[in-house]
Amino acid sequence: MNINTILIIGSGAMGSQIALVSALAGYRTVLQDISFQALEAAVASLRERMDRQVAKGRLERAEADAALGRLHTVTSLEEAAPEADLVIEAATEKLETKQQIFAELDRLAPAHTILTTNSSTLGSSMVAAATGRPEKVCNMHFFNPALVMKCVEVVRHAHTSDETVHAVMELARTMGKSPVLLNREIPGFLANRMMGAIRDEALALYDAGIASIEDIDTAAKTALGHPMGPFELMDLVGLDVGYLIREATYQQTGDEKDLPHPALAELYAQGHYGRKTGRGWYTYDSSSPTAAK
Ligand code: 3HC
């Protein structure tokens, strides 16, 4: 399949970085968000990131400029969807919002367009049902920070065609990623299931007063070789994202052990979402993060 234009929906941390990954890989990339301000902020942050890469000698100025030149922003889906060959939806992790977007995309995009979702919890069957092209729908799940992390989980649902799977796996490879394929939907996919087990144990140890947040993170790094501890990682991904993931998982499984952890729910209710708000498990108002408690 010939992919020229990729449409990314949602200019949050994931959507904006995925858009830059796409532009760097040579695709004409359109980043859509209903908020003009959010788009402006996203592009400014991507420009800064590219400038740092150029300053560090990791990227040629011309290459960075060419990528940014391939990246376009738009607020209207009506304008963006008709020219897209493939869509990566990275909007908020709410089913109704995603279903509305997929119904709109199905109406507006050409018949050949593949529709993917970056959702980490909602299997694409839930949004495919809102379209008349379920065979062209699957999950294409990137990891945070999307510019750096190599893994992309491609998850097929019962009606995703082999052609769609092949095209999305190939696209991920062209983007310099190492895609993994899930043959059927399962809540949490692969990586979040494994990460969840570690995070739950870290929370249990903290709850029981066995060790501090910093020491639990330190052990994960120095004993297990993880690049970040589980609390640092929750702050990086966003406690809002973590909270909504648990809520969505609970909705699917009905298992109370999947509910958001009480301490996480408390931080979420207080609007402490991690790095993006300057406070989560740690505070980020100084050069090095310190435990918030
Ligand atoms: N956004 C973009 N780029 C970033 C970044 C960010 N938030 N943080 C760091 N980077 C880049 C840096 O610019 C640097 O790039 P360069 O080498 O080209 O200059 C590179 O990453 C390494 O950065 P640093 O040397 O400053 O820092 P580290 O070596 O500590 O690496 C890290 C930072 C890559 C974030 C590393 O700590 C790491 O791998 N952490 C674990 C991340 C992880 O587990 N992610 C998965 C989250 S789960 C998820 O996303 C699932 C979803 O469903 C919620």
93-126 pLDDT, tens per residue?
Answer: 889 999 999 999 999 999 999 999 999 989 999 9
Report the percent of the chain where pLDDT is more than 70: 98
| Tens-place pLDDT, residues 129-159 | 999 999 999 999 999 999 999 999 999 999 9
The DSSP 8-state label assigned to residue 164 in this structure reads: H
Span from the CA of 143 to the centroid of ligand 1 (angstroms): 10
Least confident of 43-47, 109-113, 138-142, 242-246: 242-246
pTM: 0.91
Annotated catalytic residue 185: no
137-140 long-range Cβ contacts below 8 angstroms, 24+ apart:
137/102, 137/164, 138/114, 138/164, 138/165, 138/168, 139/182, 139/185, 139/189, 140/88, 140/116, 140/168, 140/171, 140/172
- Whether the CA torsion 224, 226, 228, 234 is positive or negative: it is negative
Could you tell me which residues are beta bridge partners of residue 89?
9, 117
- The reply to whether 72 belongs to the active site is no
190 lines ligand 1 (CB under 6 A): no
- The Cα-based distances of 97 to 16, 157, 193, 235 in angstroms read 18, 20, 24, 25
Is 192 close to ligand 1, i.e. is its CB under 6 Å away? yes
Residue of 153, 185, 232, 247 marked catalytic: 153
